[in-house]
Amino acid sequence: MIETNAVLVGQLNKRSCIDLNSPNQMWLSIEKEYRKMIVNNVWCANCVDEITIVQYVIQEHSTGIVLRGKCKNCGQDAARVVEFEQ
């Protein structure tokens, strides 16, 4: 059974117990400036442009993690995969 590890980034600090292998920990292991760059460079199929993702959650992905949220411009669902070297 796969546990849903999605946690809103804004709520991270409220977690008392953090799993080191969780998608959130993987996300936080990325340099802050790079995370910012990723969040601001998500492809939106509706806008046909790179947009800023908002209200996103971090989830497990086969090659790393995936940010799932909404386009800041149009509100359409948007996602961005962040690959991690195995």
Binding site for Zn ion (CB under 5 A): 44, 46-47, 71, 73-74, 76
Of 28 and 72, CB closest to Zn ion: 72
Nearer to Zn ion, 7 or 44 (CB): 44
Query: Closest Cα partner for 50 from 61, 58, 38?
Result: 38
Shortest separation between residue 71's beta carbon and Zn ion, angstroms = 3
Distance of CA 48 to the CA centre of its chain: 20
For residues 59, 66, 56, 80, the Cα torsion angle rounded to the nearest 10 degrees is -170
| Intra-chain end-to-end CA distance of the chain, in Å | 22
Least gap, CB of 67 to Zn ion (angstroms): 15
Q: Which is nearer to Zn ion, 30 or 47 (CB)?
A: 47
| Smallest separation (angstroms) from Zn ion to the CB of 80 | 13
